[in-house]
Structure 1
Amino acid sequence: MAHKLRLTRKHQVALTETAHRNLKRFCDESGLSPDHALTFLFENASSVFHEETLPHRLRAFKAALAAQET
């Protein structure tokens, strides 16, 4: 018997407009609420994120953040 999915942790999340649109599109396509969509993505991160491109994209994102702060 499958366990009941209980959302026990609450986090306030700030998103860019692009991230919000992508989350909303994913919710619409999957039929999930934003809470369940984020739960799915993080619980399955190792299989959802492309391991070869993730480090490059993370470095680029961090560089953009650093440039924005200066």
Structure 2
Amino acid sequence: MPKRLRLTRRFPVALTNDAYRSLHRFAEEAGITTDEALTFLFEHFGSVTDHENLGHRLRLFKSELEDRKA
């Protein structure tokens, strides 16, 4: 029997415009809400990310973070 989808945890989140548009595009293409899209991505994080690429992309993001905050 499938797990029931109960969105019981809420948190304020801030996104860049690019991240916001990507989330909405993904949700629209999948035919689900943005809440459901985030739930899907985090519940299946390990299988929807390339583990080797994730580390590389995270290092790049962190190295650019100070410049992006300015």
State whether TM-score is above 0.5.
Answer: yes
How far has the Cα of 1:52 moved from its partner? 1.4
Partner of 1:65: 65
Identity across the alignment (%):
51
Higher share in helix: 2
How far has the Cα of 1:11 moved from its partner? 1.0
Partner of 1:34: 34
Partner of 1:15: 15
Moved over 4 A (4+): none
Aligned CA RMSD, in angstroms, stands at: 1.4
Partner of 1:4: 4
Q: Which segments of 5 or more consecutive residues in structure 2 lack a partner in the other structure?
A: none
Higher RCO by CA contacts (8 Å cutoff, separation 6 or greater): 2
How far has the Cα of 1:60 moved from its partner? 0.6
Distance 1:11 1:41 in 2: 16
Normalization by structure 2: what TM-score?
0.90
Q: Size of the alignment, in residue pairs?
A: 70
Q: Which segments of 5 or more consecutive residues in structure 1 lack a partner in the other structure?
A: none
How far has the Cα of 1:67 moved from its partner? 3.4
